[in-house]
Amino acid sequence: MSFSRRLLWAFWALALGISALFSLFAMAFAYTVEDQFLERQLAQEAARLQAGRAAAGGAWPAPSAPQYRVVLNPDALPDGLAQVLAAEPRRREFSGPDGRHYHLQPLDGAWLVAEVSDWLVVRPDRGGLLRWLAGWTLGATLLALGVGAALARRLARPLARLSDQVSQARPGRLPQGLAAGLPTDEVGQLARALDGLNARTQAFIEREQAFTRDASHELRTPLAVLKLALSAPAMDAAQLRRMRRAVQQLEDCLEGLLWLAREPDDRAAEPTDTTRTASTALLPLVERWVLDHEDALQGRPLRVQLHADDRLALPEPALRIVLSNLLGNALAHGQGQGQGEIVLQREPDGALCVANPSSAPPEGVGQPYVKGAGSAGFGLGLSLVERVLARHGSRWALDHAQGWTRVRVWA
C-alpha cells in the first residue's frame, strides 16, 4: 500500500474514532444532565414534603405534582419495585413496563416515588439523537477523507518525486539537488542526506578514475628508466644508481597517488591556521629531483633562486608531486636560446615560480588530456597539480609572455 493511501486510511480511522468517541460522550452527557435534573427536582420535592410534615405535626402533605407519591410501606411501591429494591437497596432509578420510569427518594419512614416518563427528553428521542449523531459522524468522516486525501497528496508528492529521482540513479550519473525546493521536514532532511551521500560517491568515482590516469602518467617515466637499464647487457654503477632512483621515484609516486586518492577528511575541507603551518622545505626536494633527472639535465641550465629556509605550506608528498610535474613539464617542453633554461625562484608575493622558454600552451591547459602538439605525455601533469593544490586550499596560475611560460604556485 502506498504512503498516500496509508495516510488517507489513517485520517479516516482517526476521524471515525473521534466521531464515535464524541457521540458516546454526547449521549453520556445528555443522560447525565437529565438524571441530575430529575434528582434535583426529587430532592426539592422531598425537602418540601418534610418541611410540610414538620409544620403539620407529622402528617405528610399532598405532593406538588401528580407524578409524585409518598409510599409508607415499601411493599406498596408500584410495578414490582419492592422486589428490585430488596435486591439492590442502594438503587434509586428503575424502569417499569410500558415505558414508565421511576426515581425514588427516601424520606423519614417513607419513600417518595416519582414517575418521570412524562418529563424525560433523552430516552424517548434516543433514536433521533443517535441518527443525528450518526449523520454528523458521517459528515465529519467524509470531511476528514477529503482533507486527508488533499494532505496525503501534498505530503506524498515530494516523497514520490524523491523516489523517482533516486530510482533513476546510475553509477557515474548520481542525481544532485534532490533537496531543492523541499521544506525542512523529514523528507527534506532525507533528500539533503542523499545529496551528501551522492556527492561523496561521485567524488569517490572521480578519484578512482583520476587515480588510474595519474598512475599511468606518474609511473611511466621511472618504468621506462628501469626497462632501459634492464635491457643493457651489463650494468655499471651509473645504471644501478639510475635504477635505484627510478625505484625510489616509483615509491614516491605511489605514496603520493594513494594519498591523493584517499577521501579527504571533512574537517580538512577548509584549511585552518594549524594545517597551514605544516610546511615543507623546498631545496631538499629540488635537489632530489635534480639527482633523479641528472641524465636528462645534461646540457640544460637550471637556475634555482631559493633560500635554504624557503618553504611551502604543503605536505611533503603533495609538494613532491607538484615540483616533479612542474619541473618535468619545463624539462620536456623547454626550447629556444639557452638550451631550454629552467628558472625556479621565489617571488616577492611568496609564490613559487617555474619558468622556461616555450611555445604558447594550448587553450584549456590544466584540464585532463589537454597538452601541447609536441608533448609525448598524456596531458595529465597540470591537472594532477591542480587537484593536489585544491586539496589543500592552494592555487596556481599559468601565463605565457615574450616566449616564456611561467607557472606560479601559492600555498
Query: What pLDDT shows up at residue 265?
Result: 55
Residue 398: which pLDDT band, with cuts at 50, 70 and 90?
very high
Is 362 a member of any domain? yes
**Separation between Cα atoms, residue 381 and residue 375, nearest integer Å:** 11
Question: pLDDT above 90 covers what percent of the chain?
Answer: 9
Q: Are 329 and 362 in contact (CB under 8 A)?
A: no
Is 102 a member of any domain? yes
Check whether 288 has a pLDDT greater than 50: yes
Is 248 a member of any domain? no
Q: Of 138, 161, 192, which marks where a domain is finished?
A: 138
Name the residue type at position 242. R
Query: What pLDDT shows up at residue 264?
Result: 62
How buried is residue 293: exposed, middle or buried, by Cβ count under 10 Å (0-12/13-18/19+)? buried
When comparing pLDDT for 397 and 333, which is higher?
A: 397
Is 185 a member of any domain? no
pLDDT tens digit sequence for 338-379: 446 888 999 999 999 999 888 888 888 888 777 776 666 667
| CATH code, domain carrying 317 | 3.30.565.10
Q: Of 138, 164, 197, which marks where a domain is finished?
A: 138
Is 197 a member of any domain? no
Is 182 a member of any domain? no
Query: What pLDDT shows up at residue 59?
Result: 87
68-71 vs 110-115, strand pairing mode: antiparallel
Q: Phi and psi for 143 in degrees, rounded to 5?
A: -65, -40
Residue 28: which pLDDT band, with cuts at 50, 70 and 90?
confident
Number of domains in the chain: 2
Is 346 a member of any domain? yes
Question: pLDDT above 70 covers what percent of the chain?
Answer: 83
The contacts of residue 109 (CB under 8 Å, 6+ apart) are: 72
Q: Is the pTM of this model over 0.75?
A: no
Mean pLDDT value across residues 108-136: 83
Which structural domain, as residue segments, surrounds residue 76?
A: 3-138
Q: Of 93, 115, 138, which marks where a domain is finished?
A: 138
Query: What pLDDT shows up at residue 276?
Result: 44
Query: What pLDDT shows up at residue 95?
Result: 87
**Separation between Cα atoms, residue 324 and residue 350, nearest integer Å:** 20
When comparing pLDDT for 380 and 336, which is higher?
A: 380
pLDDT tens digit sequence for 178-226: 777 776 777 777 778 888 887 777 777 777 777 766 766 667 667 777 7
pLDDT tens digit sequence for 129-158: 888 888 888 888 888 778 877 877 777 777
Q: Nearest-CA neighbor of 348 among 405, 410, 400?
A: 410
Query: What pLDDT shows up at residue 26?
Result: 85
pLDDT tens digit sequence for 306-349: 988 999 999 888 898 899 889 888 887 776 544 468 889 999 99
HSE (side-chain half, CA atoms, 13 Å) at 228: 12
Is 228 a member of any domain? no
pLDDT tens digit sequence for 252-263: 666 666 666 665
Query: What pLDDT shows up at residue 202?
Result: 77
Cell digits for 351? 609564490
Q: Phi and psi for 37 in degrees, rounded to 5?
A: -65, -45
